[in-house]
Chain A
Amino acid sequence: MTGPREQFRPADHPHEHFILTTVVGSYPKPKWLHRARDLYEDEEANFGDEHFEEAKDDAARLITGEHERSGLDVVVDGEMRRNEMVEYFAHRIDGYEFNGRVKVWGHNYFDKPSVVDEVTYGEEWLVSEYEFTSGVASRPVKVPITGPYTLASWSFNEAYDSEEALAYDLADLVNEEIEALVDAGARYIQIDEPALATTPDDHAIVGECLDRIADDVPEVVRLGLHVCYGDYSRIYPEILDFPVHEFDLELANGDYEQIDVFTETEFTKDFAMGAVDAHVAEVESVEGIKENILHGLEVVPPERLTISPDCGLKLLPREVAYGKMENMVQAVREVEAELDAGEIDVAPAASADD
């Protein structure tokens, strides 16, 4: 086992084996929360800060509960308070400005911010979100946070000599936020760096960012890194040097075509594997997911395996998102039972001094 994982095993866990189940982070928002935002943004509606905060609290409470009901070992609030993974943070960092929407694909747009001045810590980012969620949750809570490389790469850079210099300044801010989260009690933090898939040659920059972030984070805190929709052979095995305990990777989407990348060179960290597809609006069967999980056991032994969806579930219909989590958890529990019974052969774990 790598890092502080055992603290997430539920007291009533039914099996000797424990494969950790969690989600990447985002989850479909209830339709009424979108309506509440529309009202909040409508100056003529009598719907102010207090009402919108209440709506977001309600949604966070509801979705955290939905995650717990599905049986996940570690839960998230579904990012009910966040509109988008870069915008949310850029609004809270001084030095950013917004000019308007840009195309991502088709008629899907993103209010891509511009860095116009040195970035400094503005408003609080995630501490109150964490405190609220952990206050209503009975399971441990994971905090997803957008990584500095993605915050830099998915912004226009008007102020810095290079994207790299911007990423390092942002890394210092992310480090500051993570320290505050740790002080507030957070023990599982996932850094999201999807931009690494866009520009895999920059893995050394991401590594340097993570060194800055992980600096001073106590060993009791589990750090993960999420990357998705890329060619992993261009970043692996180099990423094994990153100072995190776990890598969370999308693989169901490509039907495990890339799994060999991770078996050619020994996977020395915990492996959080996508076992359901986040962009197919059909709930996978428990049997199918169990087969997927076996791919994970080709890479690491069960005590280093985490199972999650490929990516955030927010674009799916809510009942489909729920169904995927529920079947995913059931599949994991069945695999654990089969492992306990010796019905699944697992390659012996690498010796500790490897």
Chain B
Amino acid sequence: MTQIVATTPGLYPLPEWAKDELADLKGHQKEDLVSGDEDEAISEAYERARGDVIDQQRTAGLDRVVEGQLRWDDMLAHPLVVADSVETGGIVRYYDNNNFYRDPIVTGPLAATGDVAAELDAAADRAGETPLQAVLPGPYSLADLATDEHYGDEAALLDAVTEFLADEIKQFPAVETLFLLEPSLAVNPPGDGPDEHASEAVDAVAGATDAGTEVVVHTYWEALEEKVYAHLMDAAVQAIGFDLVSDHDRNVYLAGEYGTKEDVALGLVDGQNTLVESPETIRERVEWFTDQSGEDFGTVYATANTELFYLPVNKFEAKLAALADAADLEEVHA
């Protein structure tokens, strides 16, 4: 019987009070953003905000708790931005969104920082009985977001980023699940050769986790190209994530045509629209995908398709509740 696990891809909006308090403490300019060595007042504000969003997830009844990635001013580029040998350049567009991040320019050999591990340690204390889920950019996306001035070619940069992420993971506390977010695999797909390399990179990063951690590679905004998907199936992960909001037909085709893993993550609620899906709609989408793909899944991770920082706080909270309620519904029959 399929188990439905309600969760999210993380990167939450800051609570309203924290938007103001942190803007006052940090400022509004490029040089004011998180660098990994925040002072005590800023750290303390983030700690309170982290507590708020963990409590919200538990109250909503999600089956996994994420740390919230509230410090990730540069979104998925965050782990690199706080690393040594990375300089921050100008503000650049974050995929096709009206959002911007600082260009991380790799100027020397990358080394893990433990920054994300420290966030997870703090979250673990607050998560209580709810299993903890880590969130990281996938290696292909993180390399895609970076500018290389050290490694010399894309393949070498990808290898370095892969090792960097693996070393970050080795510092993690025990986590139940790891979501690797790989939007670039969909929207800026690797060509022939690099597609296989991207899959190997995911495999290597997933391999750095503890034996007990379930790894989900989550893709969004578009469906993967067929070859990219076929290669990704070779990575030893427990689940691949599909964005059913952006393109359900292409995604279910991929799963039907090429098969998928024993578990699956489904992007069922829109992380970029304030319209709140009902639990029944969410559940129908799960059943549609299961029927159409012809797969019998062990676990379905019911999630938002994208990060959630795009939303105002009230709608963000409503979406958490809808996901949790959907997982708790009795099976619906259309």
Contacts and interface: CB of A to CB of B under 8 A. Distances in A.
B314 A106 contact: no
Contacts of A107: 19, 22-23, 26-28, 32, 73
Contacts of A104: 98-100
A156 B275 contact: yes
Interface stretch (B135-143, B226-234, B305-313): B305-313
A114 interface: yes
A114 B314 CA distance: 13
Contacts of B93: 198, 229
B309 A102 contact: yes
A106 B30 contact: yes
Nearest to B309: A103
Interface in B279-333: 309-315
A99 B19 contact: no
Interface in A245-283: none
A264 B85 CA distance: 40
A11 to B, nearest CB: 43
A112 B314 CA distance: 13
A91 B97 CA distance: 23
A146 interface: no
B28 A100 contact: no
B29 interface: yes
Given A109-B19, A156-B273, A157-B273, A103 B13 contact: yes
Contacts of B220: none
Contact of B274 (A106, A108, A156, A198): A156
Contacts of A82: none
B309 to A, nearest CB: 5
Contacts of B16: 100-101
**What's the interface size class on B, roughly?**
20 to 34
Nearest to A158: B275
B76 interface: no
A7 interface: no
A99 B274 CA distance: 8
A101 B312 CA distance: 6
B242 interface: no
A154 B273 contact: no
Contacts of B313: 100
Contacts of A102: 13, 309-312
B118 to A, nearest CB: 21
A198 B30 contact: no
Contacts of A103: 13-14, 99, 309-310
B41 to A, nearest CB: 15
Interface string A152-173: 0110111000000000000000
Given A156-B273, A158-B275, A105 B312 contact: no
A199 B26 CA distance: 31
A123 B16 CA distance: 29
B37 interface: no
Interface string B76-108: 000000000000000101001111110000000
A158 B100 CA distance: 24
Contact of A100 (B32, B273, B312): B312
Interface in B28-76: 28-30, 32-33, 73
A115 B32 CA distance: 33
Nearest to A99: B312
Contact of A198 (B19, B97, B272, B315): B97
Contact of A199 (B30, B96, B310): B96
Nearest to A113: B274
A195 interface: yes
Contacts of B98: 104, 153-154, 195, 198
A152 to B, nearest CB: 12
Contact of B32 (A101, A106, A158): A106
A99 B314 contact: yes
Nearest to B20: A107
Contacts of B315: 99
B274 A158 contact: yes
B105 to A, nearest CB: 17
A154 B272 CA distance: 11
Which residue, A114, A156, A195, has most C-beta atoms of chain B within 10 A? A156
Nearest to B273: A156
A108 B314 contact: no
A108 B96 contact: no
A15 B97 CA distance: 45
Contacts of B13: 102-103
Interface string B220-247: 0000000000000000000000000000
B253 to A, nearest CB: 22
Nearest to B312: A100
A100 B32 CA distance: 23
Interface string A317-354: 00000000000000000000000000000000000000
Interface string B264-282: 0000000011110000000
A153 B274 CA distance: 14
Residue of A102, A107, A112 contacting most chain B CB atoms (<10 Å) = A107
B254 to A, nearest CB: 23
Contacts of B14: 103
Nearest to A201: B96
Contacts of A156: 272-275
Interface in A164-213: 195, 198-199
Contacts of A108: 28
A198 B96 contact: yes
A105 B32 contact: no
A298 B122 CA distance: 59
Nearest to A157: B273
Given A105-B91, A106-B32, A153-B98, 12 more contacts: A100-B16, A100-B312, A101-B16, A102-B310, A102-B311, A104-B99, A105-B99, A105-B101, A107-B32, A108-B28, A114-B274, A154-B98
Q: 10 closest Cβ contacts across the A-B interface? A: A100-B312, A107-B23, A105-B100, A158-B275, A99-B312, A156-B274, A114-B274, A106-B33, A156-B273, A106-B73
10 contacts: A100-B312, A103-B14, A104-B98, A104-B100, A105-B101, A106-B26, A106-B73, A107-B26, A107-B73, A158-B275
